[in-house]
């Protein structure tokens, strides 16, 4: 990810919706060095910010809806959540949670693209979004996994104005040509019951070491560390609660 601060239209927030928030706090605290800061207001419902060296990096929250799975969710920064929600429906997407206030932090929307991949919108008030990006332990990349790449290439630029750099199986998303994420086409290697989804990747100093430590903490390895073009190393893991996430080691070049 070339963006080191929250940019309108770009990824700004990651939230772990968890059936066991305390277990999630322990796991990610051990893995990434996050420190929990629980919002003690009753109306916050146990919402907890996770800080990395004092800066807000992510959050962990209890599940709020019946049947909601433990999973990571990604939100994108917007200046007007209501107007962007209209763009989403106009482009063929759907609104799951209509625009609403999140206490005094901001205004949010939960939406899905035409293929069903869920994502959030965040209109900042007191909370702009993550205070750290790309540093080890912070969000480093976001990836859409979909069976409809052509539909996604039409939908997301129409909603967010993203630039698109397509390749054979992988597309990179950006803003003003500063890439922050990508898209992987789901082929027959993905079980049919796995829906289209957004996957966060957290930056790490060493993918092998982090994957090994995650395994010792009870995580599963969905994809062992592999090298990518440009010298990057990535892996995909599943935490002990069942939420998938990636890790991303930059080559340090360019």
Supply the CATH number for residue 156's domain: 3.10.180.10
Do 146 and 99 lie in a common domain?
A: no
H/E stretch holding 103: none
Do 143 and 237 lie in a common domain?
A: yes
The DSSP symbol for 232 reads -
For residue 251, what pLDDT is reported? 73
- Those residues with Cβ within 8 angstroms of residue 143's Cβ, 6 or more apart along the chain or in another chain: 181, 182, 183, 184, 198, 199, 201, 246
The DSSP symbol for 114 reads T
- What is the rounded distance in angstroms from the CA atom of residue 123 to the CA atom of residue 79? 5
Q: What angle do CA 181, 65, 146 make, to 5 degrees?
A: 30
* 134 assigned to some structural domain: no
* 206 assigned to some structural domain: yes
Phi-psi category of residue 92: left, alpha or beta, with phi > 0 → left and psi -120 to 50 → alpha: left
Closest CA to 248 of 131, 165, 142, 132: 142
- pLDDT tens, residue order, the chain (254 aa): 566 788 999 999 999 999 999 999 999 999 999 999 998 888 878 899 999 999 999 999 999 878 889 999 999 999 999 999 999 999 999 999 999 999 889 999 999 999 999 999 999 999 999 999 999 999 999 999 999 999 999 999 999 999 998 876 789 999 987 899 999 999 988 999 999 999 999 999 999 999 999 999 999 999 999 998 777 899 999 999 999 999 999 876 54
Do 161 and 70 lie in a common domain?
A: no
- What is the rounded distance in angstroms from the CA atom of residue 178 to the CA atom of residue 1? 8
Do 32 and 92 lie in a common domain?
A: yes
Tell me the DSSP string of 33-99.
--EEEE---GGGTT-EEEEETTEEEEEEEE--STTPPSEEEEEEE-S-HHHHHHHHHHTT-EEEEEE
Domain end among 99, 124, 149 = 124
Do 20 and 114 lie in a common domain?
A: yes
Do 116 and 146 lie in a common domain?
A: no
Domain end among 95, 124, 153 = 124
* 4 assigned to some structural domain: no
Do 17 and 120 lie in a common domain?
A: yes
Burial level of 159, CB count in 10 A (0-12/13-18/19+)?
buried
| Cα–Cα separations (whole angstroms), residue 92 to 33, 130, 154, 220 | 40, 29, 10, 35
User: Quick count: other Cβ atoms within 10 Å of Cβ 129?
Assistant: 22
Do 175 and 243 lie in a common domain?
A: yes
Domain that holds residue 58: 11-124
* 131 assigned to some structural domain: no
Do 154 and 113 lie in a common domain?
A: no
* 6 assigned to some structural domain: no
Number of domains in the chain: 2
Do 15 and 114 lie in a common domain?
A: yes
* 56 assigned to some structural domain: yes
For residue 64, what pLDDT is reported? 81
Domain end among 71, 101, 124 = 124
* 95 assigned to some structural domain: yes
Do 193 and 109 lie in a common domain?
A: no
Do 17 and 113 lie in a common domain?
A: yes
* 233 assigned to some structural domain: yes
């Amino acid at each position: 990810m070339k963006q080191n601060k929250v940019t309108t239209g770009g990824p700004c927030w990651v939230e772990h919706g968890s059936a066991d928030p305390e277990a999630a706090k322990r796991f990610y605290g051990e893995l990434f060095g996050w420190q929990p800061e629980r919002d003690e207001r009753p109306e916050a419902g146990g919402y907890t910010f996770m800080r990395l060296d004092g800066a807000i990096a992510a959050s962990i929250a209890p599940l709020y809806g019946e049947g909601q799975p433990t999973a990571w969710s990604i939100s994108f920064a917007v200046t007007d959540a209501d107007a962007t929600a209209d763009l989403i429906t106009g482009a063929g997407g759907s609104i799951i949670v209509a625009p609403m206030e999140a206490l005094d932090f901001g205004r949010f929307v939960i939406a899905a693209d035409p293929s069903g991949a869920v994502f959030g919108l965040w209109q900042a008030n007191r909370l702009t979004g993550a205070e750290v990006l790309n540093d080890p332990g912070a969000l480093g990349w976001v990836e859409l996994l979909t069976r409809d790449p052509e539909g996604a290439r039409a939908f997301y630029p129409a909603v967010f104005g993203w630039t698109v750099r397509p390749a054979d199986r992988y597309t990179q998303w950006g803003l003003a040509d500063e890439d922050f994420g990508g898209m992987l086409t789901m082929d027959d290697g993905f079980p049919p019951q796995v829906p289209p989804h957004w996957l966060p990747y957290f930056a790490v100093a060493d993918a092998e070491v982090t994957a090994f430590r995650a395994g010792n903490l009870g995580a599963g390895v969905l994809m062992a560390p592999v090298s990518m073009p440009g010298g990057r190393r990535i892996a995909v893991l599943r935490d002990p609660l069942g939420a998938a996430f990636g890790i991303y080691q930059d080559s340090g070049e360019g």
